[in-house]
């Protein structure tokens, strides 16, 4: 195996028992950092400290990520005043947390022949929350549903947990599921002593 010293220096390719002895002499552990290399690469290190530092970095990177959630609010073309007020209150709450809202008008029976009633309802909601929201996707039909997406207005609401913002051109960061990726296909280091045989 190829061994790297605790100070980062290249010790070279040596037998496993020799590498374990070197680690033991320094009161440290032999950790396999790249098992897929040929030969595998191990490093002499304090594994407990290494795990602690890694988890600290992961927590810090998670803190700097913000998750944008898409909340769905269902309405009817003839939603009554009281219901509408209640739903608008929810929409404002979601937007204040930096989330987006998917407004869905559900048409039943013959209501579908008058899509303009759904459009009017959406326009009414947008007008009510215009101080904190902006339209991100214009109304479109999906079967018997009319869908529109609104998001927090730039400069009015900032998603919680975002630090040093502004560099995104005012657009909230996307909630792509690729966060934290790019480990290069390397699995978590495992003390080589546990694997030796």
Query: Which pLDDT tens digit goes with each residue over 104-138?
Result: 999 988 888 888 999 999 999 999 998 888 898 89
> What are the backbone angles phi and psi of residue 77, rounded to the nearest 5°?
-60, -25
Give a three-class secondary structure readout of 74-89: EECCCCCHHHHHHHHH
Task: Give one word for 43, left, alpha or beta, with left for phi > 0 and alpha for psi -120 to 50.
Answer: beta
Give me the mean pLDDT over the 161-177 stretch: 41
Confidence of residue 62 (pLDDT cuts 50, 70, 90): confident
Q: Tell me which residue of 115, 155, 133 sits closest to 71, measured CA to CA.
A: 133
Examine domains 1-53 and 70-152 and report if their fold is the same: no
Q: Which CATH superfamily is domain 70-152 in?
A: Translation initiation factor 3 (IF-3), C-terminal domain (3.30.110.10)
Asked if pLDDT for residue 54 goes beyond 50, the answer is yes
Please provide the average confidence, as pLDDT, over all residues in the chain. Answer: 79
* pLDDT, tens only, 150-164: 998 876 655 454 433
pLDDT of the residue at 165: 40
Asked if pLDDT for residue 171 goes beyond 50, the answer is no
Extents of the domains making up the chain = 1-53, 70-152
And the tokens for 180? Answer: 């934290």
CATH code of the domain occupying 1-53: 3.10.20.80
pLDDT of the residue at 175: 44
């Amino acid at each position: 195996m190829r061994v790297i010293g605790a100070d980062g220096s290249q010790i070279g390719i040596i037998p496993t028992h020799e590498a374990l002895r070197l680690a033991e002499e320094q009161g440290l552990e032999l950790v396999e950092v790249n098992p897929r290399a040929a030969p595998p690469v191990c490093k002499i290190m304090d594994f407990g400290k290494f795990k602690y530092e890694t988890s600290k970095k992961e927590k810090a990177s998670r803190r700097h990520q913000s998750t944008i959630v898409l909340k769905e609010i269902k309405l009817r073309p003839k939603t009554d005043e009281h219901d509408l007020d209640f739903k608008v209150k929810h929409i404002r709450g979601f937007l204040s947390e930096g989330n987006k809202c998917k407004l869905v008008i559900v048409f039943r029976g013959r209501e579908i022949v008058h899509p303009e009633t759904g459009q009017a309802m959406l326009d009414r909601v947008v007008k009510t929350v215009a101080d904190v929201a902006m339209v991100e996707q214009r109304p479109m039909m999906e079967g018997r549903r009319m869908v529109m997406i609104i998001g927090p207005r730039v400069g009015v609401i900032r998603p919680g947990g975002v630090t040093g913002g502004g560099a995104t051109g005012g657009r909230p960061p996307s909630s792509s599921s690729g966060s934290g990726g790019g480990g290069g296909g390397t699995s978590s280091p495992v003390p080589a002593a546990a694997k030796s045989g």
